[in-house]
């Protein structure tokens, strides 16, 4: 190999190493902040009902198609959004509690109740304008509880509630729907961390347990 060729290769190697080192020193771009009130987005909305009714959403909540909620790909869970149907000017306010829609060209997936308010049940989709009206509440704010079951039969729910009482305050919360169910909610924790600790304990006894916000489900209970 000619000396000049060796020098050229060494020079290229040194330049490449310097470039990689410079890239490594670059800071990652900051994570975008959650949209502030007034942020808007325009596009196509769809809606979803069965068979998702009664299933757990991406936020951990149980999906209830008769509540005013919606799925969005990026907005933080708990964000309140004003949705206007641009075809008929009807509007509704929803809370983001799920992820989606995962169909190109769509920006939000509404619950059946929200779609009914916008008169888009039949068409299935509509052109809408979203506007954030309130950001998600800080997750550490309580009160929190833990759901350990949802039963069609109240007697079964009462038995589960009685079993759960050794872990703390336990109650039933009725949720009307198709079918209606009795939810068993345990505890009244002031922080998300303490609610997660309770959920871990309950999971051992009940198999399934997840944290819920008591102020979002009307958990006065029975």
CB of 64 closer than 8 Å to CB of 53? yes
168, 187 contact by CB (below 8 A)? yes
Minimum mean pLDDT among 38-52, 64-78, 94-108, 205-219: which range?
205-219
- Rounded alpha-carbon distances, angstroms, from residue 189 to 83, 97, 143, 169, 171: 33, 21, 5, 10, 14
Q: Does residue 152 carry a pLDDT above 70?
A: yes
Question: Residues 81-128: pLDDT tens digits?
Answer: 999 999 999 999 999 999 888 777 899 999 999 999 999 999 999 999
Domains and CATH numbers, the chain: 40-134 (2.40.40.10), 144-217 (3.30.70.1070)
Arithmetic mean of pLDDT over the chain: 82
Question: Is the pLDDT confidence value at 160 over 50?
Answer: yes
Nearest-angstrom CA–CA distance, 2 and 19: 26
Q: What residues form DSSP beta bridges with 110?
A: 47, 70
Whole-angstrom Cα distance, residue 209 to residue 170?
A: 13
Question: What pLDDT score does 34 carry?
Answer: 64
Query: The whole model's pTM is what?
Result: 0.53
Give the Å distances, CA to CA, from 10 to 13, 14, 34. Answer: 5, 6, 47
């Amino acid at each position: 190999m000619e000396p000049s060729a060796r020098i050229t290769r060494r020079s290229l190697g040194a330049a490449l190493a310097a470039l990689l080192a410079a890239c490594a020193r670059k800071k990652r771009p900051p994570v975008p902040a959650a949209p502030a009130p007034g942020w808007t987005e325009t596009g196509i909305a769809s809606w979803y009902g069965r068979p998702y009714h009664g299933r757990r959403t991406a936020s951990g909540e149980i999906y209830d198609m008769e509540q005013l909620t919606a799925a969005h790909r990026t907005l933080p869970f708990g964000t309140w959004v004003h949705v206007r149907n641009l075809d008929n000017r009807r509007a509704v306010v929803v809370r983001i509690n799920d992820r989606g829609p995962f169909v190109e060209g769509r920006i939000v997936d509404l619950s059946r109740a929200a779609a009914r308010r916008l008169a888009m049940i039949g068409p299935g989709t509509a052109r809408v304008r979203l506007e954030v009206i309130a950001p998600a509440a800080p997750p550490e704010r309580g009160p929190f509880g833990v759901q350990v079951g949802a039963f069609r039969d109240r007697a079964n729910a009462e038995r589960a509630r009685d079993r759960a009482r050794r872990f703390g305050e336990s109650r039933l919360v009725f949720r009307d729907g198709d079918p209606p169910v009795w939810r068993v909610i345990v505890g009244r924790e002031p922080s998300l961390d303490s609610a997660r600790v309770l959920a871990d304990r309950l999971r051992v006894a009940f198999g399934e347990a997840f944290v819920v916000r008591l102020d979002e489900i009307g958990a006065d209970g029975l």
